[in-house]
Structure formats: structure tokens, C-alpha cells
Amino acid sequence: MNQQEYIFGIEKTLINAKDLFEDAEILFKKNRFSRAYTLYQLSIEEIGKATLIFNFLLHKDIFDIDEQKKIIREFINHKSKTKSSIGLDVLLAFVISDQKLKEKVIYQIRKQEKEIEQLNILKNRSLYTDIIEEKFINPKEIITEKLAKDIKFIAQIRLNIANGFFKFAITNFEQLYKAFKKIDEQEMINNPPPEIIYLANLKIEEIINYELKQQV
């Protein structure tokens, strides 16, 4: 595939992400929280696909056969897609001026990075009857309204960021590609943005304390 076809891929995955989110909204309004959860999560995965494709265009040789095989594997891997979509939250953290909101987003990034496996498990349990501790469990017994609201919040933010970012990125791709080649990676390592430092230093205890504060 050539560069333009990959760009079409980004555009089509974003269209599908929006469709999945809107379908989830229909189910959510009818209190079908387990199925709504599924579609919100799938919307997030589609956004992750767009991010994977864009990073591939920006960083890799798109005509290299081995690199093509790698991106295809990641394109169908649920965990890779979910992890890739988290990168958009990092982008959001850079541009938010409200410190409390910035910290909330950074907290969510760290939390989700640690829970990628759990997100995939919940997605499966939102669809299928499962066996947990020798008991059959229906999706409605697992996926609460709160869980559906939480994943909806994440999906909505990422969809909004993705639509704005990729519209700009596709229109200005050649300029971004050239600019990226001039980035001094060593300078980024020596003087990382404060958001990255905060994210890297966030401890489990801080996450727990933050969670408790949110529940008060």
C-alpha cells in the first residue's frame, strides 16, 4: 500500500469509531449498559488503529515487508489498539491549562496503562456469560452503569481529540514528517515535559489516594 491508502485507513477507522460510539449511545440510553460498554470499548480500539497507522507512517518505512507485517499484527491485536489510543490522552495532557483537569487526565492515563488486560476482560464479559469462582455470571451482573459511564467518558474524550488531531495531522502530514526528523531526541530525554515526569513518577499509592478522593 502507498501512503495515501494508509491515510484512507486512518479516516475510515475514525468514521467507524464515531459510528460505534453513536451506536453505544443508543444502547446506553435504553439502560443496556453491558452492550453499550462493548461498543464504547470497540470505539476506543478503532481510535487506537488510527494512531497505530499514523505512527507507522511517521516512524517506519511503509514499504518494508517486515514493518508491514508488524503493523498488520498490531492492527488486529486488541491490547495493542487499546494501548495505542492512550497516546491521545498524553497529547491532551500537554495542552490542558487547568491543572486539576490535567492531573485527572494523567491519572487516567497511568491507571489505564495498568489495566489494559482488565479492559479486555471486561469487554469479553460485557458480551458473554462467564464462569467466575465456580458461578455462572451474566454480563448484566458485571457491567454496571458506572463502568459504562467510565468507559463512555474515555471514548468520548479520545474520539474528540482524535478527530481534531488527525484532521490537522493528515492535512499537514508532510510538514509534520519533516519536523519530526529534526526533533532532537536527546534533548527530549534530557529535558522531558513536566507531564511526562509526573506520569513516570506516579506511584500506586497516589493512584489509590486519588481514587478515594474522587469517591468522596
Which set of grid coordinates corresponds to residue 22?
A: 453513536
Of 112-121, 128-137, 195-204, the least confident = 195-204
Q: How confident is the model at residue 198 (pLDDT cuts 50, 70, 90)?
A: low
pLDDT at residue 160 in the model:
83
Lookup result for grid cell 494508509: 6
pLDDT at residue 216 in the model:
44
Q: How confident is the model at residue 58 (pLDDT cuts 50, 70, 90)?
A: confident
136-165 burial, b at 16+ Cβ within 10 Å, e below that, comes to: eeebeebbeeebbeebbebbbbbbebbbeb
Task: Give the helix/strand (H/E) hosting 127.
Answer: none
Is residue 44 within 8 Å of 82, Cβ to Cβ?
A: yes
Average pLDDT of the chain, as a whole number = 78
